[in-house]
Structure 1
Amino acid sequence: MQKKEPSLKQHEEPPSSHTEHEEHHNHEDHNGSTGHHHKNHHHVAPEDHGHEGHGGHDHHGHDHEHMIDDFKKRFYISLVLTIPILLLSPMIQMFLGFELTFPGSMYVLFALATIVFFYGGWPFLTGLADELRQKSPGMMTLIGLAIIVAYGYSSLVIFGFQGKNFFWELATLIDIMLLGHWIEMRSVMNASNSLEELVKLMPKEAHLISENGDVMEVPVSELNEGDHVLIKPGEKVPADGTVIKGNSSIDESMLTGESIPVDKQKEDELIGGSINGEGSLTISIKKTGEEGYLSQVVNLVKEAQETKSKTQALSDRAAKWLFYVALSAGAITLVIWLSIGYPFDSALERTVTVLVISCPHALGLAVPLVVAKSTALSAQNGLLIRNRTSFEEARKLEAIVFDKTGTLTKGEFGVTDIITQNNKSETDVLQLAASLEAQSEHPIARGIVQTANEREIRLIEPDDFESITGKGLQGRVDGKELKIVSPGYATEYNIQYDENQYDKLASDGKTVIFVIADDQLHGMIALADQIKETSVNAIKKLKEMGIQPMMLTGDNRQVASWVGRQLDIDEDEIFAEVLPHEKADKIKEIKRQGTRVAMTGDGINDAPALANADLGIAVGAGTDVAMETADVVLAKSNSEDVVAIINLSQATYRKMIQNLWWAAGYNIIALPLAAGVLYPIGILLDPAVGAVLMSLSTIVVAFNARILKV
């Protein structure tokens, strides 16, 4: 997956008249959709936003990798030691019908089991201590209880206490639980690098202009407020500042969501991290480092990630109840067997049997195996899960908020309407316009040329080409004096056109240009950000599922409303001209109403909103920042994959519940039998039979996870 490329070429050719040509598309003249372009995008509360935490995130990532490697190593070493433990265990020998003994064999068994208990079981023993300290018993407590009882009782048996040892049960339980935790941790490794990705957007060096006019390369970290900096064509803006010389168009799409490069001239504000177009600019640094726009976005993302709820895993909740059930069942078993006259060693053996088999091996695998399968399935379908908890909760979503540019739309201009005059055909008008526009690299020019190519219209090489300062282009094409100009030019020179048609196009937020040949208007061409075909289907399917689609965009109201109408999104669910911190605020507002909401976006400006949503979905063609902040990444930039996420979440949850019931089923059967409920009629669960039931339960759970599909 890659970052979006800048909307403007980083020109290798001389700027010549291109810079002036860009002015012919200045939106002030086109349709009045300008107001937003010159908004000051620095209106985030000027707090002290430091970069603390960058190292912390990196440290967390390394810790997570180390933990995965640690579980893997413990699993394989314990697995190797389990083989001789099984071979030396009298209960397994009896069950399989063979005998293997030698002088001191029981002490060898004890030594091997001791290594597995302390080395393999250490994560569970420390986990038990942590959970008990927090007064919140869960899976670690249940596993820890089972292995401590099995090891303690079996050690007593080895050294003379009357009974059967459970070292085989101890070893297999530790092996399977280590495997389950290793699978789960590997599947959900999602240490967020979003803060580092944000910082990477800033260039490392800047062209500082000294007091005597010399230009020198300095690290961006050395820039101070008031410094004058030169920004060359195609370079990134090193810090927030104000233009003091030059004019150019700036690509802010990854920062503000504005789909059209914004024209900047003297006294206009620039955002650090945005990309300069074809002109050179000199700026006065206004904000650096912690005060800059990107640092404030960093802070918003960080806050949201820290406050994101940590839902307890289903298996942990099941383990918590099983822990209480096991303790109760063990205590009741001991009391009853003693009260009906059995010796203490028999009552204790029965109690230990209950406590050991109360921790079903299948429970440790029930959720991790489904997680691993759903993660693999999602990856095959281009859905990259980064936060499992949020993904699992996607089944409860009631609303999905979409960013417009690059998510619902392509972020590229395309021709939507061609209005002809003087008996000219659409092909005639488009051919003339595209032939002249082919000389420019402006996004609008590219949209016209692209449409002409799609219609297989032959372009004509212009005899000459020049810009009309601030208004458009002119040249000679096919013997005609051709002008491609803005509405402002047409008004200034009293060129007659259908004002009703123009007003209708402009009210939709479309950019309109006029094609004039030999001083006669041949037609108007309207362009707009192109809507993805998949977006239409996605919105339709979401509505059928009872999920409310919404749209948030930094673009202007007219454009947003037009896109909303094409996609059948209700007008009151469209929020336009929204700054990044306002996007996050809107998500918080929706959540305060009790609505479970997802956010889908692709730009840096979407990062705080993605982090605040119940489920953040990044479109893969977008920025690394959006992807690192999101819970799920859509690799194929297909809005329909949002529907696939919800379907997979629902299917995954169903499988988890099924597996937990299968795992619990083992307990429902085994615990009462182990406790001796049916002993009066001669039925008592032998530990070896308990092992068979445990194995069957584990096999069923594994098979059930494997057949997960969407």
Structure 2
Amino acid sequence: MATTERIGTGTLEPLPGLEVDLDLTGMTCASCANRIERKLNKLPGVEASVNYATERARVRHEAGVEVLTLIETVEAAGYGARVRRPAGGGVDGDGAAPATAPDVHEQELASLRERLRVSAVLTVPVIVLAMVPAWQFEHWQWLSLSLAAPVAVWGAWPFHRAAWVNLRHGAATMDTLVSLGVLAAFGWSLVALFLGDAGDAGMRHGYALITGWGQAPSDGLGDIYLETAAGVTLFLLAGRYLEKRSRRQAGSALRALAEAGPEQVTVLRQGIDGPESTVTARELAVGDLFVVRPGERVATDGVVARGASAVDLSLLTGESVPVELGVGDEVTGGTVATTGRLVVRATGVGADTRAARLARMVEEAQAGKAAAQRLADRVAGVFVPVVIALALAPLGFWLGTGADPAVAFTAAVAVLIIACPCALGLATPTALMVGTGRGAQLGILVRGPEVLESARAVDVVVLDKTGTLTTGRMTVREVIVDDGAEAEARRVAATLEAASEHPIARAIAALVPDGERARLDDFTARAGLGVTGTVDGRRAAIGRPSLLRDEGYAVPPRLADALAHAEGEGATAVLVGWEGAARAVITVADAVRPEAAEAVDRLRSLGLRPVLLTGDHAGVARSVAAEVGIAEDDVLAGVLPEGKRDHVLALQREGHAVAMVGDGVNDAAALAQADLGISLGTGTDVAREAADLTVMGSDLRLVADGVRLARRTLRTIRGNLFWAFAYNVAALPLAAAGLLSPMLAGAAMAASSLFVVGNSLRLRRFR
């Protein structure tokens, strides 16, 4: 049985058992999705959510429920279903189609395109003949019938078939409205041609003689609607084709993630110096060595075993500048080596790669439903029978007032056609799909639709310090010397610390390149104090003041003052000396990210109040806050890991909606407590799992971009919903009053769906 990994939030509560994704076919509107969802949820031990935009059902079921039962339930409802292969994963255990299998949605798109082309060729002459009297000739109606009949029957067959399938199951969908409208217009035209004034007298009398009906009355049957039957079909086919194509484009970012790696890989099966051979990416196993040449994509996640290269990580982080990687560095499948040749040892393949996990997380977000979408689904579920009743109302009204039957018929058909709920069903999922897909391209992962509401409401953003505002790596901030010999102080300090593995030691060792360091003898490390040794024949020491005093080194007043000042600010300061005297104070601190100040400014411009929350010393916290532009009153220092959640909770109790930005295990509880948890992709897995929004990289400015994207997506959803409701509110009375022809109604209905999809696609240009 194929199951998917539970990663995002979605809209379903956990059920004991398993989870499976089904690819669905045959859905034509939100009512179809609503009906499939109801059918699945009627099964014992099953909870399902169907997304019309992604044409997918996410089903959680108890262990005793067979997947085949789920598929049969969907098929019994008149639709198609098959198990979806997890993004990036190998072959499913139940034989689900691999990524290389023919795409049924592409086949549906090709079929729609063919019907649209043929229908367009046949429909244009019909409309021209009906609209341009100068082009009409004797018996032109029969030519129109010959051209319109294939369109109304074959061209509109997807609508007729879907309507019939649903009718057999006692249901009505948007296709019911379309099919009724087209068949009514075509059937009325046939009656008018054979029995009314539109047909010639000989044909009418011959038909009457054959059928035994006698002479048909001509009053009120003179108008034909062949151009309506053909035109409505053409407009709706065009609308459905463009809508389906647009929805496929909207999901392109997700498909790019799922198919990030190359199909063929060069492997070294006989060791790192062995011969090369070529295999498919699916044949790679954990531990295999494979080659990545300049310009090639990394086949799967791994660790560099030989070579060095600049690697383009933009697929996952959105950052355009390649990163230099060498032996021992981790590489991610789907990224591109831009310079040197790499030999990589695979550490994760198939569904276990980072790109595959990211794709599944995006799928999880797209499969969820916001509260607005659930309302739209309920409306769509009852909309069709209500519209049929509304169509009968103007028909009865106009006939009751003695109006021309053609007027009554026109109003009823227009109501049937214009009331399609497609725009309503597409309003939320298309915007969510495009927004999350664009976020994935930029390195911003939105975990679910609920995040959009949270992002809109937040007014306070709490920022962790270490690893968030700072790089998390110690660097030398300042070197203060007593006698002006700064270069020599750097050289002696770097030489001593080069032999140590302590993070502070590594920062000081970086002061001087390897080739410029002195010769070191008699190296001794003093745990918790520092190190001593002989540098170029001179005894030297570096470390805490107590170490140098114990070794007999004098500390000049200037250096003592500098040391006290640094410690007062909470920074780490060490003394370095040689030949019996301390010569310099070296201050080491966690470096503030170069983009941190700009990131804080961007957050403030979004109406968010930045607050610094850290477990570090108050002096360090104040120094970092001043550097990035956070007010001293908004600094919370010396907070224990378990206290971070309490501070977030306290802000919430004050009435604030809080966003929390962090990257460590100690931030996970606060991230989960916050209204909007945001983690950096460079942080721990625990932090990422607890967050609602993840920035897949180290650029803190993307946090503000993520909030902006979430808010923009929510605005797009609301705009779509407003248009979908306003369209029906405005158009239905016009159609019922007879002020809108059926053909124009079809064009307006198609335009409303295209507007919603097009408005959502604008999110692809988000920067």
Query: Which TM class, normalised by the smaller chain length?
Result: 0.5 to 0.7
Paired residues of 1:85 and 1:109 also in contact (CA < 8 A): no
- Partner residue, 1:692: 747
Task: Identify the residue that residue 357 of structure 1 maps to in structure 2.
Answer: 418
**2:614/2:637 contact within 8 Å kept:** yes
| Structure 1 residues 122 and 606, CA gap change in structure 2 (3 angstroms) | farther
CA 425–436 in structure 1, closer or farther in 2 if over 3 Å, else same: same
> Partner residue of 1:10?
none
For residue 575 of structure 2, the aligned residue among 490, 497, 514 is 514
**Cα distance, 1:436–1:402 mapped onto 2, change above 3 Å:** same
Following superposition, the deviation at residue 481 of structure 1 comes to: 0.4
Using the TM superposition, give the Cα deviation of residue 418 of structure 1 relative to its aligned residue in structure 2, in angstroms: 2.9
2:318 matched residue in structure 1: none
Q: Report if the CA contact (8 A) 2:254-2:437 is conserved.
A: no
> Relative contact order (alpha carbons < 8 A, sep ≥ 6): 1 or 2 greater?
1
Matched, 1:603 2:664: yes
- Could you tell me how far apart the structure 1 residues matched to 2:631 and 2:536 are? 47
Deviations 1:441-468 (A, max 9, x none): 2211111122445xx9942232442223
Distance 1:333 1:657, change over 3 A: same
CA contact (8 A) 2:523 2:531 kept: yes
Return closer, same or farther for 1:503/1:549 CA change in 2, 3 Å cut-off: same
| Equivalent position amino acid for 2:745 in 1 | G
Matched, 1:383 2:444: yes
Within the candidate set 106, 109, 112, 1:79 is matched to 112
Is structure 2 residue 346 aligned with structure 1 residue 312? Answer: no
Aligned equivalent of 1:146: 174
1:351 is displaced (CA, Å) by 3.1
The answer to whether structure 1 residue 646 and structure 2 residue 701 are counterparts is no
1:485/1:635 CA distance change after superposition, 3 Å: same
Residues 1:95 and 2:95 are matched in the alignment = no
Cross-structure match for 1:245: none
Q: Do the aligned residues in 1 keep the contact of 2:621 with 2:637 (CA within 8 Å)?
A: yes
Other structure's SS at 2:651 match: helix
Partner of 2:518: 460
- Aligned mates of 1:525, 1:122 — CA distance in 2: 80
Deviation at 1:486, TM superposition (A): 2.0
State the Cα distance separating 1:70 from its structure 2 match. Answer: 8.5
**Are the counterparts in 2 of residues 418 and 525 from structure 1 also a CA contact under 8 Å?**
yes
CA-to-aligned-CA distance 1:567-604 (integer Å, 9 cap, x gap): 33344534445565554454444344432222222234
Per-residue deviation, residues 17-71 of structure 1 (Å, max 9, x unmatched):
xxxxxxxxxxxxxxxxxxxxxxxxxxxxxxxxxx998965999695886999998
Q: Which amino acid aligns with 2:370?
A: T
Residue of structure 2 equivalent to 1:622: 683
AA of the residue aligned to 1:693: A
Q: Cα–Cα, structure 1 residues 85 and 190, in superposed 2: closer, same or farther, change >3 Å?
A: closer
Q: 1:616 to 1:94 in 2, by over 3 A?
A: farther
- 2:596 is paired with a residue whose SS is helix
2:212 match: none
8 Å contact kept, 2:452–2:713: no
C-alpha distance in structure 1 between counterparts of 2:163 and 2:519, whole Å: 76
Deviation at 1:533, TM superposition (A): 1.6
Per the alignment, residue 502 of structure 1 pairs with 563
Partner of residue 24, structure 1: none
Secondary structure, counterpart of 1:460 in structure 2: coil
Q: Using the TM superposition, name which of 164-173 and 584-593 deviates more.
A: 164-173
Q: 2:510 is paired with a residue of what secondary structure?
A: helix
CA 1:102–1:473: 2 relative to 1, 3 Å: same
Select which of 623, 627, 630 maps to 1:566: 627
C-alpha deviation, 1:663, in angstroms: 5.2
In structure 1, the partner of 2:493 is 433
Q: What is the RMSD of the two structures over their aligned residues, measured on CA atoms?
A: 5.1
**1:350 to 1:106, Cα distance in 2 relative to 1, 3 A:** same
Which of 442, 454, 459 is matched with 2:502 structurally?
A: 442
Q: Percent of pairs identical after alignment?
A: 29
Partner Cα separation in structure 2 for residue 474 and residue 123 of structure 1: 85
Matches within 5 A, 1:219-618: 311-313=370-372, 317=376, 320=379, 323=383, 330=391, 333-334=394-395, 336-342=397-403, 347=408, 350-359=411-420, 370-371=431-432, 374-375=435-436, 377-379=438-440, 381-391=442-452, 393-421=454-482, 423-452=483-512, 458-490=516-548, 497=555, 500-555=561-616, 557-576=618-637, 578=639, 582-618=643-679
Task: Output the TM-score relative to the length of structure 1.
Answer: 0.59
- Whole-angstrom CA distance in 2 between matches of 1:362 and 1:442: 61
Structure 2 unmatched ranges of 5 or more: 1-13, 23-57, 60-83, 88-95, 131-141, 192-223, 258-360
Alpha-carbon distance between aligned partners in 2 of 1:118 and 1:442, rounded to the nearest angstrom: 73
SS in 1 for 2:604: helix
Instruction: Give the match's secondary structure for 1:533.
Output: coil
Question: How big is the shift at 1:365?
Answer: 5.3
Q: 1:376 to 1:153 in 2, by over 3 A?
A: closer
Segments of structure 1 that go 5 or more residues without pairing to the other structure are: 1-50, 130-143, 192-301
Q: Which residue of 1 aligns with 2:265?
A: none
**Shift of residue 401, structure 1, vs aligned partner:** 1.9
Distance in 1 (CA, whole Å) between partners of 2:167 and 2:463 is 43
Q: Which amino acid aligns with 2:533?
A: G
1:408 Cα deviation after fit: 0.8
Does the CA contact (< 8 Å) of 1:354 and 1:671 recur in 2? yes
One-letter identity of the residue aligned with 2:671: L
With 366-375 and 510-519 compared, the bigger mean Cα shift is at: 366-375
* One-letter amino acid of the counterpart of residue 495, structure 2: S
Deviation at 1:550, TM superposition (A): 1.9
Deviation at 1:539, TM superposition (A): 1.6
Confirm or deny: 8 A CA contact 1:357 1:671 kept in the other structure: yes
Question: For the Cα contact (< 8 Å) 1:555–1:577, is it kept in 2?
Answer: yes
> What is the aligned residue count?
523
After TM superposition, give the deviation of residue 328 of structure 1 in Å.
8.2
Question: SS at the partner of 2:506?
Answer: helix
Cα drift, residue 334 of structure 1? 4.5
Counterpart CA distance in 1 for 2:390 and 2:145 is 37
Contact 1:334 / 1:348 at 8 angstroms: preserved in 2?
yes
Which residue identity does 2:742 align to in structure 1? P
Q: Distance in 1 between matches of 2:631 and 2:649?
A: 20
* Aligned position for 2:731: 670
Question: Residue 404 of structure 1 contacts residue 552 of structure 1 at CA under 8 Å; is this kept in 2?
Answer: yes
What pairs with 1:98-137 in structure 2 (closer than 5 Å)? Answer: 113=156
What's the counterpart of residue 276 of structure 2? none
Partners of 2:679 and 2:695 within 8 A in 1: yes
